[in-house]
Amino acid sequence: MKNNLIKGIFIGMGVMALTAFVAERTFTLKFSETDLNKHYQKLSVIRQIVDNSNLSHQEVVYVTKAIDSLQADMVAQVKAQLEQSAPTKK
């Protein structure tokens, strides 16, 4: 009985270890600066609408955090791309 329990624990740990290594795919979306600014502004307007809506506090917090996260990712990726494309002085 005790041997089966230990064997089950090791099998469970093995399954968890195997499923923990999931391949992550990275996608790159390319937008012109104008389009990116337009989408960023639209997200800001959506955030304002949600803030002024009759949604529950929990729903508003969820939506605004999602928008804030998306906007932060957009800014970070633009900054990274600008830094990569900036010419280095020798």
Q: How far apart are CA 35 and CA 37, in angstroms?
A: 5
Q: Could you read off the pLDDT of 22-52 as tens digits, one per residue?
A: 666 676 777 888 988 898 898 899 989 888 8
pTM assigned to the model: 0.57
Asked if residues 43 and 70 have their Cβ atoms less than 8 Å apart, the reply is yes
88 has pLDDT over 70: no
Q: What is the mean pLDDT of residues 9-28?
A: 68
